[in-house]
Structure 1
Amino acid sequence: MNYFFEHLINAFQLPLKNPVLLFSLLLFIILLSPILLRKARIPNIIGLIISGVIIGPKGLGIIGENAMAQEGSIKLFSTIGLLYIMFIAGLELDLNRFRKQINKSLVFGGLTFIIPLGLGYPICSEILHLSPLASLLTASMFATHTLVSYPIISKYGLAKHSSVAITVGGTILTDTAVLIILAIITSAEKGNLDFGFWLTLITSLSIFSAIMFLLIPRIAKWFFSKLDSEKTSQYIFVLSVLFFSAFLAEVAGVEGIIGAFVAGLVLNRLIPSNSILMNRIEFIGNSLFIPFFLIFVGMVVDYRAFFNGTWPLIIAGVLTAFAIFSKWLAALVTQWIFKMSNNERQIIFGLSTSHAAATLAIIMVGYNNGNGILDINIVNGTVILILFTCMTSSFVTEAAGKKLLIQISEESDLDENETRLRNQHIIVSINELSGNEQLLDFALLISDQKVINPISVVSVYPNDAAAERMIRKSRKSLEDIVKHFSGHESKLNTIATIDHNVSSGLSRVAKELVADIVVLNDSRNKNLLSRIVGDDRAHLLDICDRTIFFCQLDNPSVSYDKVIVIAPPLSELEANFALWVERVIRLAQELTISIDLYASKATHERFEKVGLANKLDFNIHFQEIENVDDFFLYFDKKDHGIIVFCGARVGSVSYDLGTESFADKIEKACPNNDTIFIYPGMELDKMNENYNDISSTAINAGVETIQKIGREVGNIFKKSSSKKSK
């Protein structure tokens, strides 16, 4: 018994050395810090940084210097957390919007680099009396910033906002420039700043860029294509790319944070923001690795420097005040140039004002240099700067994020439309033996994260002797599907039911749940009887008035290079045109690919209006066609895009005999392309009108059926005659 207590007392001797106990302590801090500070309305980030100050070697000494050393466990986790922040920033960046606003990012990157550097040099030289080299090094530190408050932006769903895209782009530009300056200063101090230095730097950065932008994307695309269902392997692969990229960046002569951000950019198109993999990446980073980094930032702070005389206080005050002012000035000038709102300026200021990783790296290089470019007072002042800028960044970003959300909602003139989108309901039919996971992945891609209703997964079985056994079996498979998708934030609602047939069951469930969209597998292999007299597709269209997506998904989504949309003339006049267009644009946005639209001019104009009305960023290439068959005149079979065809129900305004057979033509002409056949919903009374009287539509449908029979019978005789000739 005494041994137990002695062992317990030894384990709790300060500083803590047991790695398991250290890890437990940090996890408790991560758990309790937000809870304790919630009532005080202090951002979680500030709580973690303050916790680091308290337990660090400069505070209560609970964690010692050894754990924070380069080879220590705390340092390792904090490095992972920092790389994770930059990686997620690159991964969540809206590339479509970023491409459109690249000039704004360049301008902001230039301003946030030039203003702090240009004004900081004379301040360091004249007020702090630093040498020219030390003044340049300290002034370059002002230009850097770390996206410490980015998790707040991500939490509020503002990661794709234009002001965030501008700031993230500017961050990479200015940090890269500063880190290159750091390498130049270090080489100049050692006397190695010659032609060989520049040749080595340019060559290494070129090799790094070639590997990251040419080799890694191909490997990643192949990996995700071959292991589409192995979600755990995909996550491990993503981590491998992240840390390998950070290592390559360090070898190339820049900091690992640049490599982490580039890794995020490279994998951006391959990992949709609404996918299970993305959810896992964010969850593990935000709940574990990133908090470790924030705690480590607090551990670096030495509050005792305030009690060593007035000069350290003056240095800390000057450095902190100018660091905050210079970033605010850069954000203000950016606002003036691009006529942005005050809330957008505050978002830019909040994100860019925090100094952490790159700042600390620059100052420590200057301090640890053999000739001692910087003294301990500058180091302590910089650490205080890190603490106050991170706190300022968190408070400003939190407040500006809330105000920007309010501003967006007030400026929107689509309140009714947004309410409709939030109340949309998707049901997914899974009765096939395979392809269910891919079908659900597709449903997640086209669903809006703001939607209130869950995605309903429905299994329908015929009411026969085997019905009860099939229901039990179905419930087990539905449980497996829910378990598989448990890593995603979207809720799944599972239903197993009995009806006369699948179509009747789906139609009934869609009415009961007030669903907007029905998604189901559509087999390419149909027998002769189905093709002659009609199959489940035709039956479901007859009795279900919802918008229906018939999906033929055989390839992983990472293999798509574009979304090919074909819409018949007058399809823009259909009642649910905006519903399916919004989903298709969202699919392209999630996969970061362009849209090729084959339609009339009127359809094209309405298509773009729907995207703009829903504030979706997308790239579209338009080709005008007079009828859907004209599509084959322009289609290149080498395109690996997913084909989306907007069909038309009998009696709808865009219905034409040609559209009814076009789906079969697509299947024959494009056997290697995944396809989605969309039939916009119609009101039931309008659908019933088509069958109340004998109309030209009914006669046309009969003629079309007779033509089908003739073609199929002709094919039979052709096959039999060819066999006889052989």
Structure 2
Amino acid sequence: MEQISQVLALEQTAQVLGKEPIVPFAILLVVILVIPILFERLRLPGLVGLVFSGIVLGPSGWNLFHTQSPMISLLSDIGLIYLMFVAGLEVDLERFQQRKKRSLGFASFTFIVPLTTGILVGRFFGFGWNTSILIGSLLGSYTLLAYPIINRLGVVNNEAVTITIGATLFTDIGALLILAVCVAASHIGAFSLVKLITLLSWLTLYSIVILVGFDWAGKEFFRRSGDDEGNKFLFVLLAVFLAALGAQFIGIEKIVGAFLAGLAVNEAVGEGPVKEKVVFIGSVLFIPIFFVDLGLLIDVPTFVQSIGVLKLTLFIVVGLLASKLIAALLAKLIYRYNWQEMLTMWSLSIPQVGTTLAATLVGYRAELLPLEVFNSIIVLMLVTSTLGPLITSQIAVALPTSVVAQTASLTLSEQKLKTTPSDFSIVVSVNNPQTQQYLVEMAALLARQANGRIIPLAIATAVAHMDAPQLEVSMQRSERLLAKATVLSRKLGIQAEPLLRIDDAFAPGISRAAREQKASLIVMGWGKRTGLRARLFGNVIDSVLWASHCPVAVTRLVESPKKIQRILVPVENLTTSTLQPVQLAQMLAEANQAQVTVLNVCDRRTSSSKIAAKRSQLALLVSKLALPNPPEIQIIAHENVAQAILQAARLYDLVVFPFTRHRTSSGGLAINDVTTQLASQLTCSIIMLAEPQRTQTPTLLTGVPNSTAAV
């Protein structure tokens, strides 16, 4: 009786959920928020948890959600389009251009070999040629889930890694083209050579219109829109859905149009706040719902009870792993990579998430892929998304960081960075009276060390009319803040040139004033970045970081900078960009007769010889600064970078580190910002130094902004 009552209760709950759409949507939000966090605590990808949630909530589990729910279908379709658009938007075209011939070579290997394998598996299990070819194309693409790992290890610039990243462009395009042809063939019925040529002609014309037309329209619209991020964001969304509609109009799948739209606006959007907002909305809402919907479609009883499905799944998983390994081996033999590089290429090309899942769902809905193949591909995704990053973290540790080659190629101006330029100027934002004193003190210490000047800056936000009372009140407040900053600067013995600026908002006012004053550095106070509004729309700091032409020092000072005696500089990658935080820390140290320690955290499995090599490489890199008092070099082997830095920081008064943003994978569900995590847990003073988005060479202490760094 108890079991019967439980079943009846579940049925009643399902009826309530079916009548009230807002209830299942609320449940979806809870799942999206909680489940990925729980699975990541278990060291499993968050997307695995979302698919598992779909299985539990769907017909194979509690039957709370139905696959035919109009709301879930709509949100899932948006997530599907969004997933492929983000895949195109996050293609690293610049990295692809660096090694495009070898990227094309590896793409051919890692696409053709799995394609052939998939066709053979499909034919072996009795599927038709159309279905078998589609299965093969699903195995050809891959998703760079392990990009954050190789970025943390500092091996992104390794040639084998670079061509693996670049090859994703070809594999994604290849998979989508085959999908478009296979689905079109199933719709047309009798498929002839004439129909194939006609379809390819329409597809070629459509691709040219999207790639050329949308690229031109995007650049023109962005140029004319100025700083209006809202209109830019809406333009990007409009481009996505227009491309999807255009694809359906000529008879191909809408995900092909979404991917092409991502490629088309890639350059126009660039690495800026608009791209961050577009990716954020998709990664926190629509794409997760797509993964939950995939779980709803999985028929667990059929999968478990059928020996044939288990056999098919085993063949597909083993075939994918073996074919990707063969492709990496061919690249090793032809391009003469070592075994670590080959295995890294293999592990990076294993995960089957973004394009694979999108094409699988389209093929299943078009009745090209039977349910057993759909289930097998989902299992393939679960296995490869877990196995690939795990192998990468084990193998990529042994890859060389190439820091010696990088430092050897430094230009003369980079090797002889001056610490006392005559025109060194610092713009200090003094709009917050609570942080004003310590900010001015820190800027004064830096300016005194460099024989420069400071520019206290206050922004009065503009309104419709220049004689509005609100503007008058804002200007009076700004004048009082500037007067206080001027008095403080005079006491510190530093030349101050206060500047009052009327602008539309704080962020553009700061970045524009800094550019007009040819500032060498911008100093700002730390602001909250944890709220939903800050994450979605960004704050003043985010906007300044994206727009500034010079480095930005975002500070949170718990005591006077004049009391700082011990400074820690954690460096993630041994590259020339490491010089910027070290330079800043050394200037503060010389002003206070303090000691600087440069810290690098490596993987716990790193051998003692590799640690010694890292220490030598880091010392060589720092020696390029020709500092009078070289900093102490410290290497720590630890499994958790953030925890290692937090433990080490207990002995220091100040931590200076770069403000970094980690790129997401094309199917990523979250943007991990280790910098924000550290800033929220550190109890000492911190300085986060952000370089300009287009900086090519270090410019912090040269006194003259690099022309290539101007935005």
TM-score range for the pair, normalised by the shorter chain length:
0.5 to 0.7
Within a 5 Å distance, the mapping from 1:229-378 to structure 2 comes to: 229-273=227-271, 275-338=272-335, 339=337, 340-350=341-351, 355-367=356-368
Q: Partners of 1:119 and 1:51 in 2: how far apart?
A: 31
Give the deviation of 1:243 after TM superposition: 1.7
Give the deviation of 1:519 after TM superposition: 7.1
- In the other structure, the counterpart of 2:486 is 499
Pick closer, same or farther for the CA change 1:19–1:344 going to 2, 3 Å.
Answer: same
- In the other structure, the counterpart of 2:33 is 31
Residue identity in the other structure for 1:242:
V
- Root-mean-square deviation (CA, aligned residues, Å) is 5.6
1:267-288 residue CA offsets vs partner (Å, 9 max, x unmatched):
2222232x22222122212211
Q: Partners of 1:42 and 1:77 in 2: how far apart?
A: 25
Which moves more between the two structures, 107-116 or 282-291?
107-116
Q: Partners of 1:253 and 1:129 in 2: how far apart?
A: 28
Give the deviation of 1:240 after TM superposition: 1.0
- 1:198 aligned to 2:189? no
SS at match of 1:459: strand
User: Does structure 1 conserve the Cα–Cα contact (< 8 Å) formed by 2:240 and 2:257?
Assistant: yes
Give the deviation of 1:175 after TM superposition: 1.0
Give the deviation of 1:27 after TM superposition: 0.6
Within a 5 Å distance, the mapping from 1:453-602 to structure 2 comes to: 458-459=456-457, 473=474, 497-499=484-486, 521=513
1:170-209 residue CA offsets vs partner (Å, 9 max, x unmatched):
332321342244046426x72242525522430x223322
- In the other structure, the counterpart of 1:121 is 119
Using the size of structure 1 for normalisation, the TM-score is: 0.54
Pick closer, same or farther for the CA change 1:105–1:285 going to 2, 3 Å.
Answer: same
Which moves more between the two structures, 344-353 or 242-251?
344-353
Question: Of 366, 387, 398, which residue of structure 2 is paired with 1:396?
Answer: 387
- In the other structure, the counterpart of 1:452 is none
SS at match of 1:521: helix
Give the deviation of 1:33 after TM superposition: 0.5
- In the other structure, the counterpart of 1:714 is none
Q: Partners of 1:78 and 1:59 in 2: how far apart?
A: 19
Pick closer, same or farther for the CA change 1:83–1:507 going to 2, 3 Å.
Answer: farther
1:39-71 residue CA offsets vs partner (Å, 9 max, x unmatched):
32222111111111111223321101321xxxx
Residue identity in the other structure for 2:382:
M
Residue identity in the other structure for 2:276:
N
SS at match of 2:44: coil
Q: Partners of 1:157 and 1:250 in 2: how far apart?
A: 42
- In the other structure, the counterpart of 1:77 is 75
- In the other structure, the counterpart of 1:711 is none
Q: Partners of 1:130 and 1:193 in 2: how far apart?
A: 20
User: Does structure 1 conserve the Cα–Cα contact (< 8 Å) formed by 2:17 and 2:64?
Assistant: yes
- In the other structure, the counterpart of 1:21 is 23
Q: Partners of 1:509 and 1:85 in 2: how far apart?
A: 51
Give the deviation of 1:30 after TM superposition: 0.8
User: Does structure 1 conserve the Cα–Cα contact (< 8 Å) formed by 2:90 and 2:266?
Assistant: yes
- In the other structure, the counterpart of 1:62 is 64
Q: Partners of 1:282 and 1:644 in 2: how far apart?
A: 25
SS at match of 2:36: helix
1:423-477 residue CA offsets vs partner (Å, 9 max, x unmatched):
xx99545799xxxxxxxxxxxxxxxxxxxxxxx995269xxxxxxx999837978
Q: Partners of 1:65 and 1:337 in 2: how far apart?
A: 47
Pick closer, same or farther for the CA change 1:252–1:499 going to 2, 3 Å.
Answer: same
Q: Partners of 1:646 and 1:65 in 2: how far apart?
A: 54
SS at match of 1:105: helix
Q: Partners of 1:508 and 1:316 in 2: how far apart?
A: 72
User: Does structure 2 conserve the Cα–Cα contact (< 8 Å) formed by 1:141 and 1:363?
Assistant: no
Q: Partners of 1:292 and 1:256 in 2: how far apart?
A: 18
User: Does structure 2 conserve the Cα–Cα contact (< 8 Å) formed by 1:81 and 1:293?
Assistant: yes
1:546-595 residue CA offsets vs partner (Å, 9 max, x unmatched):
6799xxxxxx99xx9xxxxxxxxxxxxxxx9x979x9xxxxxxxxxxxxx
User: Does structure 2 conserve the Cα–Cα contact (< 8 Å) formed by 1:110 and 1:174?
Assistant: no
- In the other structure, the counterpart of 1:631 is none
Q: Partners of 1:401 and 1:495 in 2: how far apart?
A: 53
User: Does structure 1 conserve the Cα–Cα contact (< 8 Å) formed by 2:144 and 2:165?
Assistant: no
Q: Partners of 2:455 and 2:234 in 1: how far apart?
A: 29
Pick closer, same or farther for the CA change 1:15–1:406 going to 2, 3 Å.
Answer: same
1:508-557 residue CA offsets vs partner (Å, 9 max, x unmatched):
799xxxxxxx9773898xxxxxxxxxxx88xx9xxxxx6799xxxxxx99
Q: Partners of 1:316 and 1:646 in 2: how far apart?
A: 51
SS at match of 2:314: helix
Identity rate, percent: 22
- In the other structure, the counterpart of 2:673 is none
Pick closer, same or farther for the CA change 1:312–1:344 going to 2, 3 Å.
Answer: closer
Residues matched between the structures, number = 482
User: Does structure 1 conserve the Cα–Cα contact (< 8 Å) formed by 2:58 and 2:296?
Assistant: yes
Q: Partners of 2:49 and 2:102 in 1: how far apart?
A: 33
Pick closer, same or farther for the CA change 1:645–1:297 going to 2, 3 Å.
Answer: closer
Q: Partners of 1:402 and 1:364 in 2: how far apart?
A: 36
User: Does structure 2 conserve the Cα–Cα contact (< 8 Å) formed by 1:498 and 1:505?
Assistant: no
Give the deviation of 1:365 after TM superposition: 3.0
SS at match of 1:257: helix
Pick closer, same or farther for the CA change 1:210–1:505 going to 2, 3 Å.
Answer: farther
Q: Partners of 1:151 and 1:270 in 2: how far apart?
A: 23
- In the other structure, the counterpart of 1:709 is none
Pick closer, same or farther for the CA change 1:644–1:243 going to 2, 3 Å.
Answer: same
Which moves more between the two structures, 501-510 or 128-137?
501-510
Flag the structure with larger Rg.
1
Q: Partners of 1:133 and 1:93 in 2: how far apart?
A: 29
Q: Partners of 2:477 and 2:171 in 1: how far apart?
A: 49
Pick closer, same or farther for the CA change 1:311–1:162 going to 2, 3 Å.
Answer: same
User: Does structure 2 conserve the Cα–Cα contact (< 8 Å) formed by 1:354 and 1:390?
Assistant: no
- In the other structure, the counterpart of 1:686 is none
Pick closer, same or farther for the CA change 1:287–1:407 going to 2, 3 Å.
Answer: farther
- In the other structure, the counterpart of 1:104 is 102
1:394-427 residue CA offsets vs partner (Å, 9 max, x unmatched):
2134325545775578553579999x99xxx995
- In the other structure, the counterpart of 1:514 is none
Question: Of 375, 379, 384, which residue of structure 1 is paired with 2:370?
Answer: 379
SS at match of 2:267: coil
Query: Looking at both structures, which has the greater relative contact order when contacts are Cα pairs under 8 Å and sequence separation is at least 6?
Result: 2
Pick closer, same or farther for the CA change 1:311–1:460 going to 2, 3 Å.
Answer: closer
Pick closer, same or farther for the CA change 1:579–1:40 going to 2, 3 Å.
Answer: closer
User: Does structure 1 conserve the Cα–Cα contact (< 8 Å) formed by 2:343 and 2:395?
Assistant: no
Within a 5 Å distance, the mapping from 1:566-645 to structure 2 comes to: none
Q: Partners of 2:146 and 2:345 in 1: how far apart?
A: 14
